Structure 1
Amino acid sequence: MAQTGGLGNRVRIRGIQLNLYGKNEEQTKAILGDAWKEIARGYAQSGKALVIERGDLRKKKLELESVDPVRTRPLSSFA
């Protein structure tokens, strides 16, 4: 999650740790739902607009699989 200033420069970055490894589909949806609530709450309190970008993680997963399978695992739940 990144907050930008008036000129589009990042002024604050905050990560949300999600442990989705070994979770089934329902558990994953619940964890992601809780994370989205936390994100929405943070932006509502700050008065800033929330912009969501959709990324295609399938391509990134394929690239990583050939180089480092260990780094591919976190993307498996999304791609």
Structure 2
Amino acid sequence: AIPLSNSRYAVGIDFDTVEGFIYWTDDLSKRIERARLNGSDQQDVITTEVISPDGIAIDWISRNIYWIDTGADRIEVTTIDK
């Protein structure tokens, strides 16, 4: 188990093997978050313009985050290294 704070309903999950972060979508809080495997360094990654984030995929080679927003009927993408 990974101890996390403020997560309400994690739906999708993936792992960035380059930086060692686990990423997840939270359907109730409408955001994408990340943290280390031990639960430390928890951060909000995407908090705006997300309606219902579900699945997530980390492209650790191209450094992109892909997720499905079922509330908006879209597949979204952003870079990890903003």
TM-score w.r.t. length of structure 1 = 0.23
Higher strand share: 2
For the pair shown, which has the larger CA radius of gyration, 1 or 2? 1
Higher helix share: 1
TM-score w.r.t. length of structure 2 = 0.23
